[in-house]
Amino acid sequence: MKRNDIRNVAIIAHVDHGKTTIVDSLLKFSGQFIVKSDKVQDMVLDSNPLERERGITILAKCVSVNYLGNTINIVDTPGHADFGSEVERVLKMVEGAILMVDAVEGPMPQTRFVLRKALTLGLKPIVIINKMDRPNATPSTVLDSVFDLFMKLDATDEQLDFPILYASGREGWASVNMSTRGKDIESVFMTIMSHIPPPNEADESKPLQMQITMLDYNNFLGSVGVGRILNGSVKKGQTVALVNEKSIYFPKITKAVYIDKFHGLNKQEVEEAKAGDIVSIAGLEGVEVGDTVCDVDNILPLPRLSIDDPTVSMNFFVNDSPFAGCGGKFLTSRHIKARLEKEAQTNVGLKIETLEVEGKFKVYGRGELHLTVLIETMRREGFELSVSSPEVIYKEIEGKLCEPMEFLTLDIESQYQGAVFDLVGKRSAKLENIVSVGDRIRLEYIVPSRALIGFKSEFLTNTRGRGIMHHSFYDYMPKVNVVDLRRNGVFIAKEKGKTTAYALGNLQISGQLFVGPGIEVYEGMIVGQNSRENDLVVNPCKLKKLSNMRNKSTDDVPMLTPPRVMNLEQAVGYIAHDELVEVTPVSVRLRKKILNHLLRKRSSQNEVEK
């Protein structure tokens, strides 16, 4: 028996094009929203603290809405390229995709990425041109660009026949007419019901098949698997088999202890779920992303989820600085290894490798942001660790060494184009297109991924914070030559102690400080940037010598320039190959891998001799 009372749809778009906001409007229209302190909370799906702070979606989430007796399951997906693995796996649960495009910006790099994935899977698209309330909206131009993008991505004739809506997620309305403001958001529901097909392939009469696309954990019930039931049905307490392509002959036998269906923003326990439903099943011991839940008498594994390979790696170390243990609760390699392995179970874009050196792990991810979000999450959980600078992952293709390349889009004011051209030119970037819109210019480049490490901070500095940048993975291409982007050396603390204004006043003449007075430092810690290319060992704790002579000029308090304080992302993008970022719940410090000056000097000499 096949179902016609259910629709499964994902919302996909470039970052900040309004996916989560439109979901808010859909939930409010259907009566599903959260009230806190007599106010309706916005961005309800961005429940993770990091998501709310950064204003981005990191984790895919599912909600369910009842419309005229039909169930519409809506999956909100991340828009940033580094979290593309979240997009790839959840698209397996749906039959259609709503593509959101900004009415001013038009299609952007991540628009191309997510749309390509959706079209490849054969999903039926709906296009919503959002943010129609913006003063500079050009929906007709944006629509032409969307059609061009569909053509470039080899959309089928059926996929090209997509319905178009014009909306303002913030104001809560949508319309089928470009020049008419809608009364409410109901036209989105109507379009979903008329254009997105029901799960026609789902057949309740066939043996049970459900692929796990997301994982959760319940302290009382254990591992929780989330996915769409492709065929058959499952009842509470039923014994099921967990199987994948590798374990087809040795499936894990477990029990569906608890079954939840999504109901609005919450979950609702049910006794039975059928083909076409998106559900979460608790008690699946040993479940992994990609596993198929089957009937024990009919072991029928589904094809493994196809996830793009990582492009960047970082080394994670046990924190061995003199300040280790002063701010965190989890310090040992056992703690770090257990946390990384737990993350790898749910974060399918992540890979973990334990290296031979004790307390050292190599973590592979989809980008710099992907890895720094993990580090920031661990820091807030009480972990202490040190991390190296990101390194791109090379591949040998047809006998040539290739590296990952990014499609980079820069939106700047015309007055900064000279500075930006110079900045990007150093990174072996290839200019693909220039578009002028009023007094702003949009530049499109193909650039090596390694050249973008630490680029954002410099770009914002050169554009006085007014530039906008986006990038997404493009392809593997032959390795190009990129010059050393950090030309300046650093100030390295000579000894452990507390910094003094007197010492820092002398140091700032020769460079830029990273610490202020009265800060505890240790030998090998980086306290500033030298104005020259060489590293310099300094004493930031030096005290002023006392004498019997009174001199007004020598008694003056030095005027210190405010230090440059880096957040985690900036610190990771700044460090060189022989440096680390020490991450604790209370601080982010820069340091040399080898703290002792003599040992560091001896090590560099050995490298030269080799």
Q: What is the pLDDT of residues 341-364, one digit of tens each?
A: 888 877 777 899 988 888 899 999
**At CA 160, angle to CA 156 and CA 161, rounded to 5?**
120
- Residue among 370, 466, 368, 448 nearest 407 (CA): 448
Q: Which of 161, 195, 229 is the last residue of a domain?
A: 195
Whether residues 31 and 122 share a domain: the answer is yes
Whether residues 115 and 10 share a domain: the answer is yes
Q: How many CA atoms lie within 13 A of 594 on its CB side?
A: 11
* Structural domain harbouring 283: 209-295
Instruction: Count the domains in the chain.
Output: 3
Q: Is residue 245 part of a domain?
A: yes
- Residue among 181, 140, 131 nearest 14 (CA): 131
**At CA 497, angle to CA 494 and CA 502, rounded to 5?**
80
- Residue among 214, 216, 229 nearest 294 (CA): 229
Contact 88, 372 (CB under 8 A): no
Q: Is residue 522 part of a domain?
A: no
Cβ atoms < 10 Å from Cβ of 334: 11
Whether residues 226 and 189 share a domain: the answer is no
**At CA 215, angle to CA 65 and CA 255, rounded to 5?**
95
Whether residues 122 and 40 share a domain: the answer is yes
Whether residues 188 and 62 share a domain: the answer is yes
What the block records as the tokens of 240 is 């099921």
pLDDT at residue 363 in the model: 94
Whether residues 249 and 287 share a domain: the answer is yes
Burial class (CB in 10 A: 0-12, 13-18, 19+), 598: exposed
Whether residues 221 and 191 share a domain: the answer is no
Q: Which of 264, 295, 326 is the last residue of a domain?
A: 295
Q: Is residue 543 part of a domain?
A: no
Q: Is residue 515 part of a domain?
A: no
What the block records as the tokens of 291 is 């596993």
Whether residues 15 and 131 share a domain: the answer is yes
CATH number, residue 165: 3.40.50.300
What dihedral angle (degrees, nearest 10) is formed by the CA atoms of 385, 388, 392, 394? Answer: -100
Q: Which of 435, 455, 478 is the last residue of a domain?
A: 478
Q: Which residue has the tokens 């004739």?
A: 157
Q: What is the pLDDT of residues 195-205, one digit of tens each?
A: 998 886 777 88
Q: Is residue 324 part of a domain?
A: no
CATH number, residue 283: 2.40.30.10
DSSP string, 51-79: HHHHTS--S-EEEEEEETTEEEEEEE---
Ranges of residues in the chain with a pLDDT under 50 are 34-47, 51-52, 55
Going by C-beta distance under 8 Å and a sequence separation of 6 or more, which residues neighbour residue 570? Answer: 454, 457
Whether residues 164 and 289 share a domain: the answer is no
Give, as one character, the DSSP assignment of residue 518: T
pLDDT at residue 46 in the model: 43
Whether residues 156 and 278 share a domain: the answer is no
CATH number, residue 400: 3.30.70.240
pLDDT at residue 37 in the model: 34
Angle between helices 455-462 and 417-425 (to 10 degrees): 160
Q: What share of the chain is helix, strand, coil (3-state, %, to 5)?
A: 25, 35, 40
Considering only the C-alpha atoms of the chain, give the largest distance between any 2 of them, rounded to a whole number of Å.
99
Strand order through the sheet with 292-295:
252-255, 239-243, 292-295, 209-218, 222-231, 278-282, 258-263, 266-269
